[in-house]
Each structure stands twice: as C-alpha cells, then as structure tokens.
Structure 1
C-alpha cells in the first residue's frame, strides 16, 4: 500500500488534502477564538454590572481571604502611602515587564491594601511617586499571591510576588491578605503612558457552545479529508492487487 501511496498521483493529492485540512484547522481555531472572546466579553459585562461593595465589608486584617470574594468589585477611600514596589517577570500580551504595586491606606480601617496600579516595561517606574491626597478607588479583588520559593535575589524595590506574608514585614501597621486590580480612580491620576491598567482576571469562563461546536465541526472536516485520502489510496491499492491476480485463460490457441 505504501508503494501506491508514494506514487506522484497520490502524493500530489496528499499535498492538496493536507492544505485543505490545514485550512479547516485554522477555521476551527478562528471559531474557537470567537467563542472565547465572546465568553470573556460577556464575563466582563457581568463583572461590570456587579454591584461595587466597600472593601472593608469583605476583608478583615490578619484573616484568610474569603473564596467568595474572588474578582469582587470593591471600592476603597483613602490615600496612597510610601512603599510601592515592582513585581518582575510579568507579561502583557507579548511584552515582558513589571507590575507596579502601591500601598493604599483605607481611611475607615487604617489597614494597607496593595493596589496593582498597572503594567510597565520600565524598571525605573518607582521613580514616579503615586498620586497624593484622598481618593476613591474601584477595582477587582484578588487573593494574595503565594511566595516564590525559587526566586533569585532581586534589586531593591522589587518583590517576586504580591505576598501579604512578606508585605506585613515591609509596611507599617496591618495589611489585607489581598490586592486590587485598579480600574477607576477618583480624582483621576495624571496620565502615565508608561503604565497600563490591567483587567481583573475573570477566572473560568464558559465558551459559547455554538461557536465551539463550529470549531469542532471544522476539525472533524480536517480529519475526514485525511481519512478520505487514505481510503482512496487503499481502494486503489486493492484494485491494483486484484488486477495482477486475475487468472490467465489456459485454453490453447488454435
């Protein structure tokens, strides 16, 4: 059968079939991307429609982070304090850079809340102090990150993760075991083009089943195209074998 498959006719057809299969696979990936994009868009819309609650109603100092508060929309009134730091080895798309985290003293509790103000590619971002004065923040809540056990020594002003167990020894007073992805700030801080705000992670989102089904359909077509080529080669090989085995008429010629 391999001898039949490697003939110019069937190799040429295989090239065509592979190109068609690759096109089907790309169409499937495109449909899957649409499904994921729509799921994320709906999740973002649901998150923005969620009521904003005061951060002190969900968090208590020196207590574990409640699982029900993951990605909750919270607000806090207070002021930024000294002690901001960078978290290296973070990515935004294809860019590699840092998270800029600043302590925010919540006025009603006096507890420090780590605020992820954004992503930057500049290692000197700490040279720009945070905005001053009383302000209101709104953002998505996230639990404190775990410690990085194999982290190498970092430059001054950098930490391997947003780890509350480390921050309590760096910042005075109490610190919440959480941090906030900053979304809205009032009054709005001066525009810093080197700093990009990050959306709150949405966790698991449900795919749009219709688009996911279309993606699966394209992948089935790709597999069917390859299977059809194999089936045609097999049938051609069997016909060739049957033709070579036809009996010769033993009747002598007169």
Structure 2
C-alpha cells in the first residue's frame, strides 16, 4: 500500500492537491476579508463648520446627520457652573467610568450664546482636578469643534458617588438638573480649537462616519473557493482509492495458482 501511495504518479497528485488546498483556502480567506471590510464604517462627507444653532435645539435631540459635524459657537463661558467629567481619557470614543478610573477629567463648561441658550462644551482634558489649565477664560470666546449626541446616564459603569462638581457622563437630562436656570441645547461640543487659544489638552474626536454595505458577492466567492478545495479532496480520494484497488487486484491475480498445462498425448 505504501509503495503504491509513494508511486511517482501519486506523489505528483499529492503535491498538486496540497497546492490547490493551500491556494484555494487563502483565496477564500481573502474574499472573506473583503466581505468583512465592506461592512466597516467609512468616513462620511465632512462639510465646513456651521453655527451650532443650526444643528441643535432646546428640548430636541440631535439628529443622526448632525453627529460629529463641525460647528462653531460664540459666547461666554459660565465659570461658576463648570463641571468635571470624571474618569475619562483624552478621547471621546474611549470608555469612561470604572474602565478609566483615575485617568483624568474632561472640562465640561456651559457656553452661553447671545440668544441666552447654553451649549455644553468639552473644552479639553486635564490629568487632575487641580490642574491650572482648568481655569475658565473670561470674556467672549469662539469655539470650533465637533457636535456629539448627549450620553446616556448608564453609558459608563460608575465607581461610586462623585464629589460635588463632578459628573460621570455628559447627559443633557442630567445637565438640566445641574444647571436649572439654563436653557440647555441638546448634545455637546468637543472643542478642537478656540479663540483665544486654550491651554488644555484637546479631547480627540473622530469625523463623521457612515455604515458600509456588505458585498455579499465576495462572501459567495469565498464559499466558492472553499467548495472547489473540497472537490479537489474528493477527486484525490477517488484517484487514490482506485490506485489502491487496482494494486490489490494485481497482487491477488499474481498469487492465484496458474492452471496446469495438459500433458502431451503419447505418440502412437
């Protein structure tokens, strides 16, 4: 049996099938990767900044198309009502709460616009509550940043009660209670620039994205390559089985006794 399997013709077949399996498996995995990548979020168009009043309202949620849009806002900060968003890193997409306990603070400051409404602004990040950079600038400021939807109060795992002046999330529903005299617009702005300039560390915020659509054709291609690989194994099995069967038949025929030749008739 081993001699048959290692015959030159079958060795060539084994090598061919191995090459086919490796190639078709990688081709299928490549097509599967293309399929998976097609569903990943992609960068959406990023229009020029607009006034924050065009995208936010008092008592109305920020629309999906406004999320991460660039906005500008001019007004004065209300230093007396500044809050620290506890246990945060300098990235708006990073988890907060218990997952980032002791990592630092976002500076959340109400910006009062000329119409009397208030826009919550994450001015930046500081490592400690006593950082001198947390001081609120006086006078009129112009903030440029990206608009974010209000966080839910259960978006983070809280690590206990926070000191006065600190919150765990940037929740419009919570801010309405913390700033009872303010007409708070929904959502918040993550500042990327300020005039006059700020000394705090900016909080990273991503541009808008849009969901990708899966290209099911690539998934079909992946399955097709793998089916071809299975078919190659199926054909290899049949070729090897036939070779072994033929070898057994030849060996059986060689072992059977040959019939004796008839004796020659004596000459008359």
TM-score (norm 1): 0.64
Query: In structure 2, do the counterparts of structure 1 residues 235 and 186 end up closer, same or farther at CA, with 3 Å as the change threshold?
Result: farther
Which of 114, 119, 123 is matched with 1:113 structurally?
Answer: 119
Which of 227, 238, 246 is matched with 2:249 structurally?
Answer: 246
Which of 167, 173, 176 is matched with 1:168 structurally?
Answer: 176
The DSSP-based 3-state class of the residue aligned with 2:59 is coil
8 Å contact 2:192–2:203 — kept in the other structure?
no
Greater shift in the superposed pair: 25-34 or 143-152: 25-34
Which of 134, 137, 140 is matched with 1:132 structurally?
Answer: 137
Aligned residues: 230
8 Å contact 2:84–2:108 — kept in the other structure?
yes
Q: Which residue of 2 aligns with 1:148?
A: 154
Query: In structure 2, do the counterparts of structure 1 residues 198 and 67 end up closer, same or farther at CA, with 3 Å as the change threshold?
Result: closer
8 Å contact 1:142–1:179 — kept in the other structure?
yes
CA positional deviation for 1:136: 0.8
Q: Using the alignment, how far apart are the partners of 2:224 and 2:123 within structure 1?
A: 46
Query: CA offsets per residue over residues 146-174 of structure 1, 9 Å max, x none?
Result: 22186442432543321111111222422
Query: In structure 2, do the counterparts of structure 1 residues 217 and 161 end up closer, same or farther at CA, with 3 Å as the change threshold?
Result: same
Q: Which residue of 2 aligns with 1:177?
A: 186
CA positional deviation for 1:199: 2.3
8 Å contact 1:147–1:163 — kept in the other structure?
yes
Query: In structure 2, do the counterparts of structure 1 residues 18 and 173 end up closer, same or farther at CA, with 3 Å as the change threshold?
Result: same
Query: In structure 2, do the counterparts of structure 1 residues 182 and 205 end up closer, same or farther at CA, with 3 Å as the change threshold?
Result: farther
Query: In structure 2, do the counterparts of structure 1 residues 73 and 245 end up closer, same or farther at CA, with 3 Å as the change threshold?
Result: same
The DSSP-based 3-state class of the residue aligned with 2:153 is coil
The DSSP-based 3-state class of the residue aligned with 1:246 is helix
* Structure 1: segments with no counterpart, 5+ residues: 1-8
Q: Using the alignment, how far apart are the partners of 1:75 and 1:245 within structure 2?
A: 86
Query: In structure 2, do the counterparts of structure 1 residues 61 and 25 end up closer, same or farther at CA, with 3 Å as the change threshold?
Result: same
Q: Using the alignment, how far apart are the partners of 1:60 and 1:159 within structure 2?
A: 23
Q: Using the alignment, how far apart are the partners of 1:88 and 1:229 within structure 2?
A: 57
Q: Which residue of 2 aligns with 1:77?
A: 74
RMSD: 4.5
8 Å contact 1:28–1:219 — kept in the other structure?
yes
Q: Does 1:188 align with 2:197?
A: yes
Q: Using the alignment, how far apart are the partners of 2:228 and 2:197 within structure 1?
A: 57
